[in-house]
Amino acid sequence: MGFPTTLTEGYRSFLGERFARERTRWARLAEGQQPEIMVISCCDSRVPPEVVFDASPGEIFVARNVANLVPPYETQGLYHGASAAVEFAVRALKVKHIVVLGHAKCGGIQAYESAAAPLTTGDFVGNWLSLIKPAAERVKAEDGGKSNTAEFLRKLEIATVELSLGNLLTFPWVKALVEQGQLQLHGAYFGVGDGVLWVRDGESGEFQRLTME
């Protein structure tokens, strides 16, 4: 088996079209990156942030993981991929915005709630998804204990975005920059089927449909 044909053909198209059109941009990016926005999103193949936001190379710094989770700040573990990405974006790149982007029909959220094999078995996925527990408990309490329905899963997808935003504030240097007005945190939720983007209002905490009017 060789290199995937889909990728080979895609690269050929990129090289002959987009790279050719944006050669100057790529040459400039080779000297370094200065994105002002970090997007933390799910690694679901249906929700690529660069496509959703029609971003050009160098415009957004993207970190993707299962269920767009940010763990609480802690330094005792051995590996901190998500935390390292946040630290690099904030302390090295000095981004001005962090967006946590959740989405509809999230397989990670469904796996957490259903505890269905094989997604929650093995060495890594189950432990990672256990971060969702506080959000799940809150939603279940608000819904009277109902779970694993389409509406519950949607609420949990949104609550997980809020959980990650809260966990971001446990990072001392994130919290300090937010309080100083140098960094803003945002929550967003993307509808895979309908393309609708919901954005969290910083004051009310409500998710409101982003309109182009």
From residue 51, give the alpha-carbon distance in Å to each of 2, 46, 84, 190, 204: 27, 10, 24, 12, 28
CA angle 110, 112, 114 (to 5 degrees): 65
Q: Which residues partner with 38 through β-bridges?
A: 61, 98
Given a cut of 70, whether residue 22 has pLDDT beyond it is yes
Alpha-carbon distance 86 to 70, whole Å? 9
pLDDT given for residue 121 in this prediction = 65
On whether both 90 and 118 belong to a single domain, the answer is: yes
- Upper half-sphere CA count for residue 117 (Cβ side, 13 Å): 2
- pTM comes to 0.94
Which has more pLDDT, 23 or 121? 23
Q: How confident is the model at residue 79 (pLDDT cuts 50, 70, 90)?
A: confident
On whether both 103 and 186 belong to a single domain, the answer is: yes
On whether both 48 and 8 belong to a single domain, the answer is: no
Give the model confidence (pLDDT) of 133-154 as tens digits.
Answer: 999 999 998 877 666 688 999 9
On whether both 13 and 95 belong to a single domain, the answer is: no
pLDDT given for residue 116 in this prediction = 65
| Domain count across the chain | 2
Residue 196 sits in a domain whose CATH number is 3.40.1050.10
Sequence-ordered list of residues with C-beta below 8 angstroms from that of 45, at least 6 positions apart, any chain? none
Q: Could you tell me where the DSSP H helices lie in 123-210?
A: 125-129, 133-142, 150-168, 172-179
On whether both 26 and 128 belong to a single domain, the answer is: no
Which has more pLDDT, 189 or 113? 189
On whether both 130 and 165 belong to a single domain, the answer is: yes
On whether both 5 and 73 belong to a single domain, the answer is: no
pLDDT given for residue 78 in this prediction = 77
Domain range for 187:
34-209
On whether both 90 and 138 belong to a single domain, the answer is: yes
Q: Which residues partner with 64 through β-bridges?
A: 41
What's the whole-number average pLDDT of the chain? 93
On whether both 62 and 134 belong to a single domain, the answer is: yes
Given a cut of 70, whether residue 126 has pLDDT beyond it is yes
Sequence-ordered list of residues with C-beta below 8 angstroms from that of 43, at least 6 positions apart, any chain? 64, 65, 66
On whether both 5 and 68 belong to a single domain, the answer is: no
On whether both 148 and 60 belong to a single domain, the answer is: yes
Given a cut of 80, whether residue 184 has pLDDT beyond it is yes
On whether both 18 and 56 belong to a single domain, the answer is: no
pLDDT given for residue 123 in this prediction = 78
